[in-house]
Structures are given as structure tokens and as C-alpha cells.
Structure 1
Amino acid sequence: MRILFIGTGDIGLPSLEWLIYTPKHQVVGVVTQPDKPAGRKLVLTPPQTKVRAQAAGIPVLQPLKIRHAVEELKAFNADVAVVVAYGQILSRDVLNVPKLACLNIHASLLPKYRGASPIQAAIRAGDAETGVTIMHMDEGLDTGDILLMDRVTIEPTDTGGTLHDKLALAAPSSLEEALDLIASGPAPRKAQDNALATHCGKLKREDGRLDWTRPAVELEFLIRAYNPWPGTFTLLPGDKPAPLKVHRARVIPEAESCPAPGTVVSSDPKTGLIVACGQGLLALEEVQAEGGKKMAAGDFLRGKGLETGLLLG
């Protein structure tokens, strides 16, 4: 079949790679977001989907608004559009462009975690599993009928980054099955139960500020979920509070009653940096001071002493 790939995020790269190399289908075009400034020098940088498509000799479109590019999309004469992490809602005119179907690859078990941050939401909630959903797209936000769903285990050590990569690598297999079902037709359609739907919005850096009044277990989930983006942090006390990023932490089980949430209970380089939470204690295992490098908490404490009893913000 003739495939039009619509995507921007790196999570779609393995699926694009599979589509390029499989003899079953032909990628006739790639639609992605415009190049954006990146890094400290704000160098104009293309999405990796564009880089990969151009390397394979595939035409690329980068409209500011995809709804304004309907005629250009029709020119690809696609049978199926495959959409993953594109970053814009598709209008009905765009959805009607492919002859057979407009499919979306979503990184959750819908209707759970509709929206922009399903991977982080699953870890943050302490879920034991998530997955890849292939759905028929409609004009809503991840509300279309489900074609198929494949489950992926969330390991206790998974972060937002590692789970992102696992789901990205799982997606091509799901997509292959979905396209086979479209080709043999009619493909399954199962309506989502809207009563069971949950939503997760786009994340901002401020969302990663640690609220020490929360239980230690919840904060450990949050730290894993938001690694690497948007990251989590607390504020070191002082005339000008400085952020301290927290990359990895561990719940201390069966902790006894603690002082006020945010209190540094231990700051010994040998025993680590331990902070009181609303319930339980959290050992900060890997941290990063402003302008510094990521390091083990013990190494951080050797270079910058923190007094026991200090209150983190």
C-alpha cells in the first residue's frame, strides 16, 4: 500500500524505518513540523523524521498548519496515513485524504491517558503495564475507534526515557499487523468507552518541582516518569534558592515518623542525601546542581555540604 507518514517525535522513527524497508508498503511522503531552533545557539534543526525521509529520497512537507496543505496531501495519492506524535490535531479534510484509513499510533492503552504525555502518566501513576494502541483517527483528541492494542510491561526501573524507547520499538510490530488488517479489510473497529477515559496534558518544566508533602512512593514514581523530560527538581535554601535536579531516587521502606516534609534527614556522603516526605523518606541517589554535571548524591555532598535539618523547597 501507499503510505503517507505524518509524525515529528522520535518515538515514530522505528515505525518510519520499518515502513521504508518493508517490501509490503511504499512510503510516498512524510509530513512533519517545521525546523525549529535548538540548543544554546538556537541553531535551526530539522526533526529526525525529516532527516531520515530525505536520506531515503522521500518527499517531505513541513506546513505550519496541516489543515492548509490538503491539496498537497492529496497529491501523494496515499492509501493509508500513519500518524504518530505529530503535534497537531487533524481536521476532517485531512483525515479524508487517504483512500482506506488514517491510523494513529498512541503510546498508552486507550482510553487511558489520552493526550500529550501518556508515557510519563503511566509511570507517574505506578501502573504495571502500558502499551501501543493503533486507532482509526477522528477529529477528537485520541478518541477514535481502536483497531488493535499490544501491551508492554513497565519495569520498576523504567524511566520516561527507557519506556519511550521500549514503546517506540514495539510500535512497528503493531503497525504491521494493523496494516495487514486494513489490506485484507474490513479492519476491526472498537469504540472507546469515554467513561473510562483519562487525560494527560503537555508537560512544562515547572511540573517537575518536587512537592515534599507528597508520599515518598509518589515522588519516586514522578522522578522516574519525568526523566529525562521535563526533569524533577527541588530548591536548595539560601538568599537566592538554587535548583537541584533529581535524576534518580529510592524510597526507604518502613521509615519511621519523620520531621517536616522537605527536611534533610541525612547528608552524609557515605549514607547519602535523605529527605523527609509527607509519608516516608526518599534517598536522592543522583542529582545535578545548577550549572554542574549529573553525579551521585555522595559525590555532590563531598563538594557541597548540606546541613542536616535544612528545609528543601
Structure 2
Amino acid sequence: MKLIIATQTSLALPLIQDLYARQQLAAVWLYDVTGEDSRQLATQCSMLGINLLVMDPERPQVLIDHQKTLQADAIVSCYLSFLFPASMVQELKGKLLNIHASNLPEWRGADPLFWQIASGAGETFLTLHQIAAQADSGDILFQQKLSIHPYDTHQGVNLYLSQKMPLFITQWLSAGGMDLKAQPQRVLQDKDKPATRPDSNAAGINWQQSGCLDIFNLARACNPQLGGAAFSFNQEVLYLLEATPVNHPSYGLEAGTIVHIGEPEGLLVACHDGVLRLDVIYLSAGIFSGLRFAERYQLQAGQRFDSYPITKREKQDGRNNSQYNELCR
């Protein structure tokens, strides 16, 4: 079986190299070669002598003709930021596939990992599905469940999944590949939240609404591609890259208020459900530990951080108390 891999990032390189080594790679379709990461991937493919085609979404017939010329059995999309045009989906029906990082139909959208990490999920899925007219709605061919470590960041999970993709595709091929019967996705329910591409609002901390674990997970989800979870102090935007819920009295202080500054506890801030240690903060002047930031800018207990403007979104039902208790130890 021969596959074409459609991508735009070197995160797909482990899969490309594995298929190439097993002589099951027909070509690589590369999108957005203006980025440094894409250029590096193009260089790697050229060095290996891989058939490389730069995709132009405005010229789908070129891609269709290329697939027919190579007689590739399927095109597998991964880490791709655009949707294939309807003409391609129709022409290559059943042969146009995508790897999505969620248990579809949960978290359909451009960045499922962000929302899974931000909600404190302990696991994710690699899901190979057929591409349909509606994004991420096609029938499912193969799935694998994978764990998310409580301390994983967005980029960390992406790298982990990247390393798992070669075995994932190998297992799919061994199980029957294109001969496997595709299974329709279950009916979309209200609990199945969309995974839209996060913006600055999604990365904002609302001290009044978010608990310790909410902020802890949001910082992980925003690290590093959004620079951290945003909040403000004296009208300057700060970015929280790492935080830890701790066992410490909040003294009844309002959420967002500094509870304590000093060794060995660090910079402690009250939340509505406990106390959070701000471990790593990024701002225009550089990256600081929470304690060094507080000492450098002469913060004092009782001062209050401000929320960053965000679009209110519904909290995940059922807080993971076991995760919270573990982090507080």
C-alpha cells in the first residue's frame, strides 16, 4: 500500500521517515512553504529523494492528477491548517483521510489538544477518519487511546503524538488498512464542545471564575504557542507559563490577590477555591520565576492581579479532584 502524506510541519517527519523506510510512501504534499518549519521539512524530503509537491488549495485538480499518476491508495492529512476543497473530497471520496487528535466527534476543530489540556483531560486519541464535506465529521477507520501526563504542555503532547503516529499507521495497515470498514461517528451531542483555534481571549485568566486547577491547566495549554495564560497587572499583560496549586491558607482574600511572597513558598495568589503558586512568568522584560518577578518589581501581599479580557466559556463539568489533590501534595 502506498500513501501520500499531506502536511505543513516537521511534526509529520517521523511518520514520513517510517513510511519511506518501509517503501510505503508515495509522496509528500506540503502546504505553506513560507514558514521556516515547512522549509526544513522540504529540505529533509529533498535529501531523501522523496517525491514532493507544494499544495495550492486553489488548484485541486493538480493534486487529484498527482494522486492518480502515482496510483497512491490514500492521502493521509496530518497537522494541516486548511480544508480540502469540496471537489477533491468528492473526487477522492474514501481515499482522502485525516489524523485528528481527539475521540471524535468530541473536540472537532483546528486545535483539539489545546482544549483537552485546558480542560484537564487525562487522555486523548489519535483518530484516522475519512474526510467529508463537514470538517472532522467523516467515518472513522482506526483509533488509538493515549495518555496525557498532568504536567504535559501543548507542545509536549504534540511531540508525543508525532512520535506515536508511525506505529499508529502501521497498526492500521496491519489491521487491514483501506479494507477496514469505516464506522460512522456517533451523533454530535451538546457535551461535545468545538475545538476552535484558540485566540487571546481563550488564553485569558479570569481570576473570579477560574479555580486553581483551571488556571494550572490553561497555562499548560498555552505553553508555548500562545506565550502562556494571560493576566494583567498595572495595565501590563503578563503570561503565566507554569503554575502549581498548593496547600496554603487564602485568608479569605479575593481571587487574584497576592497571599504571600517569599522563600520557600514563592509567589502565592488566592483563587476562589484555594491558592495557586505562580511558577514561571513571561513579560516584555523577560522570563522570571514568580518569586523573582515579585521581588524585582516590589510586589506586596494584598495587591491584586487583574483578569485578562476573555470570552466566557462554560467550565468542564465535574472537576478532577484527584488531580487537584495530587498537585497540592
Return the TM-score normalized by structure 1: 0.86
Amino acid at match of 1:71: V
- Partner Cα separation in structure 2 for residue 218 and residue 178 of structure 1: 36
Listed as ranges, the matches of 1:167-246 within 5 Å are: 167-183=161-177, 186-196=179-189, 197-213=192-208, 214-230=210-226, 231-237=228-234, 241-246=235-240
- What's the CA shift for 1:52? 2.6
Cross-structure match for 2:316: none
Residues 215 and 100 of structure 1, relative CA distance in 2, 3 Å threshold? closer
Distance 1:118 1:72, change over 3 A: closer
Aligned partner of 1:297 in structure 2 is: 290
**Structure 1: distance between partners of 2:165 and 2:173:** 12
Q: Deviations over 1:148-199 (max 9, x none)?
A: 111111111111121111111112111122234455x521211111334431
User: 1:109, 1:132 within 8 Å by CA — same for their partners in 2?
Assistant: yes
2:311 is aligned to none
Counterpart of 1:223, as a letter, is A
Query: Distance in 2 between the 1:250 and 1:263 partners?
Result: 16
What secondary structure is seen at the aligned counterpart in 1 of 2:295?
helix
Percent identity, aligned pairs only?
22
289 and 88 in structure 1: CA distance in 2 versus 1, 3 angstrom threshold: closer
Shift of 1:143: 0.6
Q: Are the counterparts in 2 of residues 270 and 298 from structure 1 also a CA contact under 8 Å?
A: no
1:214-235 deviations in Å (ceiling 9; x for gaps): 1111111111122112121221
**Cα distance in 1 between the residues matched to 2:223 and 2:282:** 13
Aligned pairs, number: 299
RMSD: 2.3
- Aligned match of 1:41: none
Paired residues of 2:60 and 2:85 also in contact (CA < 8 A): no
- Gap runs ≥5 in structure 1: 39-44
Question: Is there any run of 5+ residues in structure 2 with no aligned partner, and where?
Answer: 307-329
TM-score, structure 2 normalization: 0.82
Equivalent of residue 95 in structure 1, options 64, 84, 89: 89
Distance 2:132 2:45 in 1: 26
Task: State how far apart, in whole Å, the 2-side matches of 1:98 and 1:13 are.
Answer: 24
2:268 to 261, 269, 274: 274
* Alpha-carbon distance in structure 2 between the residues aligned to 1:252 and 1:270: 12
Contact 1:89 1:139 in 2 (8 A): no
